[in-house]
C-alpha cells in the first residue's frame, strides 16, 4: 500500500538522455504496479534532442547537426513534440495516480499541477502564472512547458524550468523551416521565453529551486515532501529499460524503411497535436501496402498506433474508412484531445496527395 500522505522527492542529477528516459519508464511502470510511491523527480540532461514516442527522428531533428555538436538523440516514452534539453534547464516529473488526484480529466489535472508549479516558481521571486493548456509564463513569456500522459491508473506529468536557456542552439537542432531561422525569427523566439537567471539577475542554488517546487506541490496536494532514493525494484527495472532504449532500434523505430514505391503523405493539425501519415499503395491490387502515422500526439497504450498501422496493411483502399472504424470499435484506447476522425482525416490527406481525386473519395 502506498502512503497517500507523502510525496517522495528524488533528485537523479545530470544524466545522459537514455538514462533519464529509462528512468521515466522504470518509475512509471513500477508506480503502475504499486512498487513505487507517489514521486516528484528532479532531473537534468546532458545536451539532448528528444522526439516524442510517435515521431520520426529524420522528420523532426537534424541528426547531422546533433552528431557534430555532441548532442544525444533519444525517443521519449510519451507522445508530444521534439524538444531540446541541456543543463540550462531543470526537469521535474510527477508520478501519481487517478485516486491521488481525484480525477481522470487531463485538463483538470494539468491545471492543478501547473498552478502548483507556478506557485513554486513564484517562491523564487518571479511572477509566474499558469496559461492553459500547459504553459507557465512570466509577463507573457514562457518559463516552463509541461505535458502528461496516463499509463493505466498512473499518470506521468512532466515540466521544465528554464534557467539560462540558449534558444538559438535549440533552433539549430530541430528541423525548422529556414525562414524561421533568420536573425529576426531567432530574436523573436528569444523574446518569447523567460530565463530564471535573467529575471533574478543570478541563478539561485539548485537545491533552493527544488525546495520551492517541492514545497508548492506538497502544499497543493496536502502531503508531506520526503527526500528518497530509488528502490530495488526501480533500479532493476531501470537497467532493463536502459538496455532496450539505449539502442538505435529504439531511437529510430518510427523512421520509415526505404522503398521503391512512391510515398503518399498527408498532414493534419488538430486539438490533439500535429499528425503525419505516409502510405505506400499496391496500385495493381488497389490495396494499402504499408501505413505509417507519426506526430506529437498522446495515446494510451502507446502501441495503439503501431496496431492501427498493422490493421491497415493489406486492406483495399476503398475499405480504409470501415477498417479504421472497426479498429477503434474493438480497441480500448485513451487519447488526449484526439478522435478517430483525426486519424481518418490525416489518412484521407495522404490519399488525396496522389492527385487523382479518386482515392480521396474512396474514404470520404
Give the tens place of pLDDT for each residue, 248-261: 999 999 887 666 66
Give the model confidence (pLDDT) of 83-128 as tens digits.
999 999 999 999 999 888 888 787 888 899 999 999 999 999 999 9
Q: Cis link prior to 133 (omega < 30° from 0)?
A: yes
Say how many domains are in the chain. Answer: 2
What band does 361 get if pLDDT is binned at 50, 70 and 90? very low
Do 242 and 348 fall into the same domain? no
CA-CA distance, 345 to 337, in Å (whole number)?
15
Contact residues for 97 (Cβ-Cβ < 8 A; gap 6+): 31, 38, 153, 154, 155
Residue 24's CATH number? 3.30.930.10
- Position 256 in a domain: no
Supply the DSSP symbol for 316: B
Contact residues for 8 (Cβ-Cβ < 8 A; gap 6+): 37, 38, 39, 40, 226, 227, 228
Residue 318's CATH number? 3.30.390.50
Give the model confidence (pLDDT) of 32-50 as tens digits.
999 999 999 999 999 999 9
Last residue of a domain, one of 217, 251, 285: 251
- How many helices (H) and strands (E) would you count in the chain? 15, 16
- Position 355 in a domain: yes
Find the domain containing 87 and state its range. Answer: 6-251
Please report the beta strands in the chain, taking only residues with DSSP state E, as ranges in sequence order.
6-15, 39-45, 48-51, 72-75, 83-85, 89-97, 128-131, 135-138, 141-151, 154-162, 224-227, 264-270, 273-282, 287-295, 299-300, 334-335
Beta bridge pairs of residue 276? 267, 294
Last residue of a domain, one of 194, 221, 251: 251
- Position 323 in a domain: yes
pTM of the model: 0.82
What are the angstrom distances between the C-alpha of 162 and each of 91, 197, 200? 9, 9, 12
Better-predicted residue by pLDDT, 243 or 298: 243
- Position 129 in a domain: yes
Do 150 and 281 fall into the same domain? no
Is residue 354 predicted with pLDDT exceeding 80?
Answer: no
- Position 258 in a domain: no
CA-CA distance, 209 to 212, in Å (whole number)?
5
Is residue 357 predicted with pLDDT exceeding 60?
Answer: no
Amino acid at each position: 500500500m502506498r502512503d497517500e500522505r507523502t510525496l517522495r522527492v528524488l533528485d537523479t542529477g545530470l544524466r545522459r538522455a537514455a538514462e533519464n528516459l529509462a528512468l521515466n519508464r522504470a518509475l512509471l511502470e513500477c508506480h503502475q504496479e504499486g512498487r513505487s510511491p507517489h514521486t516528484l523527480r528532479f532531473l537534468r540532461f546532458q545536451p539532448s534532442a528528444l522526439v516524442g514516442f510517435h515521431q520520426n527522428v529524420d522528420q523532426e531533428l537534424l541528426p547531422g547537426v546533433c552528431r557534430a555538436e555532441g548532442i544525444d538523440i533519444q525517443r521519449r516514452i510519451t507522445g508530444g513534440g521534439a524538444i531540446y534539453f541541456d543543463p540550462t534547464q531543470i526537469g521535474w516529473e510527477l508520478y501519481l495516480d487517478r485516486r491521488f488526484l481525484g480525477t481522470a480529466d487531463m485538463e483538470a489535472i494539468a491545471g492543478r499541477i501547473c498552478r502548483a508549479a507556478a506557485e513554486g516558481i513564484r517562491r523564487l521571486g518571479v511572477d509566474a502564472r499558469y496559461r492553459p493548456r500547459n504553459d507557465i509564463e512570466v509577463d507573457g513569456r514562457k518559463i516552463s512547458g509541461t505535458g502528461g500522459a496516463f499509463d493505466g491508473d498512473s499518470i506521468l506529468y512532466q515540466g521544465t524550468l528554464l534557467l539560462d536557456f540558449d534558444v538559438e542552439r535549440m533552433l539549430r537542432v530541430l528541423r525548422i523551416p529556414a525562414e524561421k531561422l533568420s536573425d529576426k525569427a531567432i530574436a523573436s523566439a528569444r523574446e518569447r521565453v523567460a530565463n530564471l537567471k535573467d529575471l533574478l539577475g543570478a541563478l539561485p542554488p539548485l537545491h533552493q529551486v527544488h525546495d520551492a517546487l517541492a514545497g508548492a506541490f506538497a502544499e497543493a496536494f496536502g502531503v508531506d515532501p520526503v527526500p528518497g532514493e530509488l528502490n530495488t525494484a526501480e533500479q532493476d527495472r531501470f537497467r532493463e529499460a536502459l538496455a532496450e532504449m539505449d539502442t538505435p532500434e529504439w531511437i529510430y523505430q518510427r523512421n520509415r524503411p526505404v522503398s521503391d514505391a512512391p510515398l503518399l503523405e498527408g498532414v493534419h493539425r488538430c486539438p490533439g497535436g500535429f499528425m503525419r501519415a505516409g502510405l505506400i499503395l499496391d496500385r495493381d491490387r488497389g490495396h494499402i501496402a504499408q501505413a505509417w502515422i507519426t506526430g506529437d500526439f498522446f495515446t494510451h497504450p502507446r502501441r495503439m498506433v503501431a496496431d492501427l498501422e498493422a490493421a491497415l496493411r493489406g486492406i483495399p483502399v476503398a475499405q480504409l474508412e470501415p477498417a479504421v472504424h472497426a479498429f477503434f470499435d474493438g480497441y480500448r484506447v485513451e487519447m488526449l484531445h484526439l478522435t478517430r476522425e483525426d486519424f481518418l482525416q490525416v489518412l484521407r490527406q495522404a490519399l488525396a496527395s496522389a492527385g487523382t481525386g479518386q482515392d480521396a473519395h474512396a474514404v470520404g
